[in-house]
Amino acid sequence: MVSTVTAARDIAAQVPDPELPILTLADLGILRDVREEAGTVTVTITPTYSGCPAMREMSHDLRHRLQQAGYPEVIVRTELSPPWSSDWITEAGRRKLAAAGIAPPNPAHRRVAGPIPLTLTVRSRTIACPQCGSLRTAETAAFSGTACKALYRCVECREPFEYVKEI
């Protein structure tokens, strides 16, 4: 028999990210913890950055899906420490990004405690094309549909693509 908390975690882990719906909150590393106590499920999530406009939608989706699955009392907590890092994206999440034509972030390897300023522009770096793998790519715009992505174009295959910025 599956425990209540394990079942609740499985449901929460499958909630898609509203801005990158090809990824789940677990794939993105946003889902931090799921606990159950006295009939209340508490889900802890960490935003990709403190001003992330999708947090309200994520909280709503988590509550809705868990309540639909039979958990009447759901609390969604936001935890900012330690701050999220793009290094928390799972290998499965990185594969899903690449399969969707979005270049996954380079390793950030951030080990700093406390708030991290979000750099909304990409520093000059080599970004591999998710279509053909070429390293001959060029940034065409510092921003895409969301602040955490930039637009690139491959010089080899000429395909445009998005790049998830490392944080």
**Per-residue model confidence as pLDDT tens digits over 50-106:** 788 899 999 999 999 999 999 999 999 999 999 999 999 999 999 999 999 999 998
Specify whether 14 is located in the same domain as 58. Answer: yes
Q: What domain count does the chain have?
A: 2
Specify whether 69 is located in the same domain as 109: no
- Shared-domain flag, residues 70 and 123: no
- Looking at residue 145, its pLDDT comes to 82
Q: Report pTM.
A: 0.79
Tell which of 45, 78, 111 closes a domain: 78
Determine the structural domain holding residue 25 and report its residue range.
Answer: 4-78
**Would you place residue 1 in the very low, low, confident or very high pLDDT band (cuts 50, 70, 90)?**
very low
Asked whether residue 90 is assigned to any structural domain, the reply reads no
Q: Is 93 domain-assigned?
A: no
Q: Judge contact between 149 and 165, C-beta under 8 A.
A: yes
Least confident of 32-36, 67-71, 114-118: 114-118
Q: Are strands 137-141 and 149-154 parallel, antiparallel or unpaired?
A: antiparallel
Question: Last residue of a domain, which of 44, 78, 112?
Answer: 78
